[in-house]
Structure 1
Amino acid sequence: MFVLVNLKAYPCDPVAVATAAHEVSESTGVRIAIAPQAAHLSAVADTGVETWVQHVSPVEHGSHTGSTLAEAAADAGAVGALLNHSENRLKLADLDASLDAAERVDFETIVCANDPDQIAAAAALGPDAVAVEPPELIGTGTPVSKADPDIVRDAVDAAAAVDASVDVLCGAGISTGEDLASAQDLGAEGVLLASGVAKADDPRAALEDLVDPVA
């Protein structure tokens, strides 16, 4: 199982969370990655943890003030890109161009989507993985695997029908080992979470609990 922790813009210590994630990954053998703010990519990557950028812009080198250039993220130590999160939706053409930008620097990519129909459309664009995340459950602590497990099952089937090589992750409300185990039972290859770790009083303990069922 792959665990991607999105730190969003939460007021956590990204280096402390990244250090904990790296240590838990090393001790358990579970693949754990951290997606910090772009300004923190280098510091997070320096901990040794697998580092992802929260977004790459659909641009190349040029006059693009305020953009997150894929090449800059790669130079800072990122190896993957999270795209189309519900808090940063992209138009289809821009999503396609962001995937092209990520491909320029050999990033692994995950595209978020709300439901199985959107998962199918996202999978058709050729990312490495898609993540099903009903927006109404994000940050609630209620995992989609419990609230509506059929969404996860149907998302897995929808992606497989388009491109069997595209993995499916489960997001929204994931915070415990039970949540991760449920996602795995429903066919997900990993989980995407944020507040369950980024807002935890003890991020290392939260991560240890999360990966315990698969460690």
Structure 2
Amino acid sequence: MFVLVNLKTYPCDPVAVAEAVRDVNETTDARLAVAPQAAHLERVADTGAETWAQHVDPIEHGSNTGHTLAESVANAGAVGTLINHSEQRLKLADIDGSVQAAERAGLETVVCANNPAQIGAAAALGPDAVAVEPPALIGTGTPVSQADPDIVEDAVDAAESVDNDVSVLCGAGISTGDDVVAASDLGSEGVLLASGVAKADDPTAALEDLVDPL
């Protein structure tokens, strides 16, 4: 089970969360990773935690002021990147370009989408994984696996109908170990979460709670 913690721009200590991710990862069969802001990538990667970017742009080296270059993300120590998170939406052509840019830089990719129909379209672009995240549930503490489990099952079916090699993750509202188990039972191979760990007073305890039932 893949557990990817997105730190967004929450006022947490990215290094402390990364150290918690690293330490808990050593105690479980689950795979844990953390996605900090771009400015914190190198410091987070230096902790030894598996480090992901929150976004890369569909660009190459050149005149791209203010954009995020996949090669720079990889050089900072990231091994993967989110693409098309609900807070950083892209047009389909740009999603495709970002996936290609990430692949060019040797980064693993998770493309986010709102619903099963979008999951199918995203899977057709050949990412390593897709993540279904209904925007209305993000940050609510109500997991999609409880609010509307059909979305997760339908997303898994949509991805499989396009490309069996594309894994499906479940996001939005994940905060407990029971949520992770429920996502797994619905066919998800991982979860994408943020506030449940990034806002926790004790990130280590929050992570242990997530993986303990696995």
TM-score range, shorter chain: over 0.9
Whether 1:36 aligns to 2:64 is: no
Offset, 1:53:
0.3
- Aligned counterpart, 2:79: 79
Distance in 2, matches of 1:194 and 1:170, equals 12
- Aligned counterpart, 2:145: 145
**Secondary structure, in 3 states, of the residue corresponding to 2:26?**
helix
Total equivalences in the alignment: 214
Query: Runs of 5+ in structure 2 lacking a partner?
Result: none
**CA offsets per residue over residues 124-175 of structure 1, 9 Å max, x none?**
0000000000000000000000000000000000000000110000000000
Give the RMSD, CA atoms, in angstroms: 0.5
- Aligned counterpart, 2:181: 181
- Aligned counterpart, 1:111: 111
Offset, 1:105:
1.1
Whether 1:196 aligns to 2:192 is: no
Distance in 2, matches of 1:116 and 1:31, equals 25
Distance in 1, matches of 2:59 and 2:120, equals 25
Offset, 1:67:
0.6
What TM-score, normalized to structure 2?
Answer: 0.99
- Aligned counterpart, 2:158: 158
Offset, 1:39:
0.5
What TM-score, normalized to structure 1?
Answer: 0.99
The residue identity in structure 1 corresponding to 2:13 is D
**CA offsets per residue over residues 50-85 of structure 1, 9 Å max, x none?**
000000011000010001101110110000010000
Offset, 1:213:
1.1
